[in-house]
Amino acid sequence: VYDGSRPLWKETDPCRPVNAYGRSKLEAEQLIQSQWPHSVSLRSSIIVGPQPASPLTRTLFLQFVDAALTSGQPTTFFEDEWRCPVYVQDIVAVVQKLAAWQVQAGAEGKCGKARSLTLPPVLNMGGPDRLSRVDMALMVARHRGHSPSLVRPAPSASVARGVASPQDISMDVSRLALLLGRPPTPLTQVLEQIWPTCSAA
């Protein structure tokens, strides 16, 4: 929903989506908030973590990087688009806390009490690291023992995608850290969770 013109967006910053995907997400937030004023919309970045038990129709980004580098073929990654990859277990923890608070608020309402906690209508749900895809690929390479020379940086403009893409939608996740009671999980720790050993498969 952010236009990507600068780094570290806050939830209170103006939303100016640059494509239909972003506009649809913003419209969904607005519709949900109009119907359920106590709801919280989570604005997620790239979601990372281990492969889920149920098969997916496409490979997760970190697993794609590892597979590409394992093949030994040089692979191109964008060097000029920045994101804040978020660990899936952090998302689970956030949803659990929000659900518990909503249950508590509902119980307070039934008892005629005022809500003891006011939640923000939106919450940035990203990790603590502002990274390009090149940064992420190099981190996977180092962790898995692949040659960093296989990671080939390229500008995003080198690929005709047919749709505008925001350059920098890294997010300020200070509210998320308060909710979790700790900083979100950095990508180095996520890699250790996915691949406990540091040797290539």
pLDDT digit of tens for each residue in the chain (201 aa)? 999 999 999 999 999 999 999 999 999 999 999 999 889 999 999 999 999 888 888 889 999 999 999 999 999 999 999 999 999 999 999 999 999 988 887 766 666 665 656 788 999 999 999 999 999 999 999 999 999 999 999 999 999 889 999 999 999 999 999 988 999 999 999 999 999 974 444
Q: In this predicted structure, what is the pLDDT of residue 200? A: 46
In this predicted structure, what is the pLDDT of residue 55? Answer: 80
What was the pLDDT predicted at 201?
45
Cβ neighbourhood burial of 13 (10 Å; 0-12, 13-18, 19+): middle
3-class SS of residue 26: helix
Residue 1: both structure tokens together: 């929903």
Cβ–Cβ under 8 Å, residues 128 and 184: yes
* Phi and psi torsions of 117, nearest 5°: -140, 125
Residue 6 to residues 13, 47, 58, 82, 134, Cα–Cα distance (Å):
11, 21, 30, 10, 19
- Domain 20-194: CATH superfamily is NAD(P)-binding Rossmann-like Domain (3.40.50.720)
Bridge partners (DSSP) of residue 122 are 41
Q: What is the number of other CB atoms lying within 10 angstroms of the CB of residue 182?
A: 11
For residue 192, the Cα-to-chain-centroid distance in whole angstroms is 18
Q: E strands, the chain, where?
A: 41-44, 47-48, 75-78, 82-83, 86-87, 122-125, 131-132, 151-154
Q: What is the pLDDT of residue 38?
A: 86
Separation of alpha carbons 94 and 41, rounded Å? 11
Specify whether the backbone of 123 is left (phi greater than 0), alpha (psi in -120 to 50) or beta. Answer: beta
pLDDT at position 198: 47
pTM of the model: 0.89
Q: Given this model, what pLDDT does residue 104 score?
A: 81
Q: What is the DSSP letter of 145?
A: T
Identify whether the C-beta of residue 54 lies closer than 8 Å to the C-beta of residue 136: no
C-beta of residue 184 within 8 angstroms of C-beta of residue 86: yes
